[in-house]
Structure 1
Amino acid sequence: MIRTVIMASLVALTWHPTLQVGADQTLPPCPDSPNCVSTDATRASQRVPTVPFTGAPAAALMHAKAALLAESRTTVTIEREGYLHAECRSLVFRFVDDVDLVVDPVAHVYRFRSASRIGRSDLGVNRKRIARISARLALPPITSK
């Protein structure tokens, strides 16, 4: 049992995601496990709402990056036009969850996917994370004078 936990921890710490947002800004689908939430999920139990934005998509992306980085133990690993990928590590076991965020310039909404890399249940961690990020995105961006 302990060996299994150690091996799973090592895999979680070294594995890198291969699923990323497509060129057409589509988010990867959630697996059948309950440890994933997405604005694009086909299952109601995994679906989270989009968040609208106003203004330029480039400014919305900067606001989204700040909202992501406000999460503890979070690092943005990929940043390109209209898209951010972040890795969020758990406090105790350092398990990694992946967060994809798309700034949809046509619908003027933020779209998300947050998923655990390993395991089946996340005890609602991904849903709570997206709720916090969504709340930050709903606030006006802080601008320096």
Structure 2
Amino acid sequence: MRVIKWVLVVLAVLALAVFLAARLGFLEGPPPADLGVRDGRLKPPSDTPNSASSQAHRYPGHPMRVYAQVEPLRYTGDPVLAQERLRQTVATMGGARIVTSRPGYLHATFTTRWLRFVDDVEFAFDPAAGVVHVRSASRLGRRDFGVNRERVEAIRERFGG
């Protein structure tokens, strides 16, 4: 009985330590320095199952190519208006913060409520194809349990593409 009490105390202290570390920003992870569009491509998917990308197919030898693949967002009409609509869509989602918004490119972060994990989401407009390529990836951790894919699909539904 005494051992069980100590185990419970240790678990409670560990949980409190993780919560405090999260609140102090230790679980955010460093911002990636290599985001953006290069040669018409967003950064490749993560090497572990914690990202989603509409351009994963453009990296044929990538180990997470199949896992990460999602469809790009589709739009019709003026790409400038579509980008503003996408920016507004993302900005209204819980935990979202717009980091960069320039013609043809949008970068946002999503921060989880309790542990303050940060995911980076990028959008690159391809007006000729009428699509918006997207990449969403966790900064920390090896797995995201499908969170990035779910976020992309939620954005797709709200954006209407």
TM class by shorter chain equals 0.7 to 0.9
1:60–1:103 CA contact under 8 A, matched in 2: no
Over 3 Å counting, the alpha-carbon distance change for 1:135 and 1:93 in structure 2 is same
Are 1:41 and 2:82 counterparts? no
Over 3 Å counting, the alpha-carbon distance change for 1:61 and 1:40 in structure 2 is same
1:99–1:113 CA contact under 8 A, matched in 2: yes
Question: Partner of 2:81: helix, strand, or coil?
Answer: helix
Question: Partner of 2:158: helix, strand, or coil?
Answer: helix
* AA partner of residue 106 (structure 2): L
2:28–2:139 CA contact under 8 A, matched in 1: no
1:12–1:117 CA contact under 8 A, matched in 2: no
Alpha-carbon distance in structure 2 between the residues aligned to 1:78 and 1:86: 7
* AA partner of residue 100 (structure 2): I
Q: TM-score, normalised by structure 2?
A: 0.77
Are 1:32 and 2:47 counterparts? yes
Runs of 4+ off more than 2 Å: 4-7, 9-14, 22-25
Alpha-carbon distance in structure 1 between the residues aligned to 2:27 and 2:125: 28
Provide, for residues 91-119 of structure 1, a one-character-per-residue CA deviation record: whole Å limited to 9, x for no partner: 11001000001121111101100000000
The structure richer in helix per residue is 2
Are 1:100 and 2:115 counterparts? no
Alpha-carbon distance in structure 1 between the residues aligned to 2:78 and 2:126: 11
What's the CA shift for 1:10?
Answer: 4.1
Residues paired across the two proteins, number: 138
Are 1:110 and 2:132 counterparts? yes
Match of 1:143 in 2: none
**35, 39, 45: which is aligned to 1:20?**
35
* AA partner of residue 67 (structure 1): T
What's the CA shift for 1:25?
Answer: 3.6
Match of 2:9 in 1: none
* AA partner of residue 41 (structure 2): T
Match of 2:3 in 1: none
Match of 2:83 in 1: 61
Match of 2:6 in 1: none
Structure showing greater radius of gyration is 2
Q: TM-score, normalised by structure 1?
A: 0.85
**65, 72, 81: which is aligned to 2:94?**
72
